[in-house]
Amino acid sequence: MSLTLGVGIKSADISNIEDLKYHLTNTVAEFGYGVTFGVSTAVEHVRPGLQGLVDAWSLALVAVIHAPNNELAEASEISINLIEGGDREKALSFFSSVCLSLSKKIKSFSVFFAVEDWTEDMRIRIQSGSIDEFMRCVSRPSGWWEEYYSPKSNVINCDDSHPFVFSVN
């Protein structure tokens, strides 16, 4: 399964963009991944939707997490580990490290996941919460494509072809 994974940050939350890029790059590299910055670095089939998110949310920085050799701007290993029966603990450790690392530098950020195409007019699923709530979301079976609806907290299975954005604050 292909997985486009990234982080978006609003300009109001960034005091030193170069320091933040350096910090995020090093955190991701500890897990054997690379990171590129900008919508144009994402795979082509998700760029229109990602650009729509950037415009709608006024994101100043978009970081796309990818394979270390940058041949593919996708995070397929995380997909395998988190969703398809691979090393779940490694995937969860990755998300925990990235979130904790970012929280030391900025107040809020959004993590986005896209599997198939992501067009400008496509319905996306959005959830907001703390780092702990994000970690609970990605650690559940079927992980990030399930969504909690408050206040009932009923788990709804969503079509995994719809992008998912979790805003951590």
In the chain, what are the domain boundaries?
Answer: 4-168
Question: Encoding tokens for residue 19?
Answer: 């320091």
pLDDT-derived band at 72 (thresholds 50, 70, 90) equals low
Q: Using CA atoms, how far apart are residues 165 and 127, in angstroms rounded to an integer?
A: 6
Q: Which residues contact 104 (CB under 8 A, 6 or more apart)?
A: none
How confident is the model at residue 142, as a pLDDT? 52
Digit-coded pLDDT (tens) for 74-104: 666 776 666 666 677 888 898 899 999 999 8
Q: Is the pTM of this model over 0.85?
A: no
As a whole number of Å, the CA-based R_g of the chain is 15
